[in-house]
Amino acid sequence: MLKNRSQIDPLLVLKMIRKKINDAGKVLLFPFKAFGFIVFAFKVVIFTFLVLDSLFEWIVSTILK
C-alpha cells in the first residue's frame, strides 16, 4: 500500500478510469455488433436462396423447352 496520497499520479488514475470505461463500452456494444452480423448473415442466406431459386427455375425452363 502507498503510505501517502501524494505518491498517486492523477494522470495514471485517469488513464486507468478511461481504460475501464472503454472496456465497458466494448462489452456493451458487443450485442449490437453480434445482432448486425446476424442480420448480415440472414441477408446473405436470403440472397443466396433467391439466386439459387432463379437459377433452378431457369435450368428447369431450359430443359422443359
**What is the residue extent of each domain of the chain?**
12-64
Q: Do residues 15 and 9 lie in contact, with contact meaning Cβ atoms separated by under 8 Å?
A: no
Q: What integer pLDDT is reported at residue 22 of this predicted model?
A: 82
Q: What integer pLDDT is reported at residue 32 of this predicted model?
A: 76
CA 21 to chain centre: 19
CA distance 49 to 42: 11
For residue 63, the one-letter residue type is I
| Residue reference for cell 453480434 | 34
Tell me the whole-structure pTM to 2 decimals.
0.45
Based on DSSP, count helices (H) and strands (E) in the chain, helices before strands. Answer: 1, 0
Give the max Cα distance, the chain.
Answer: 92
Q: pLDDT digit string (tens) for 7-65?
A: 667 788 888 888 888 887 777 777 777 788 888 999 999 999 999 999 999 999 998 87
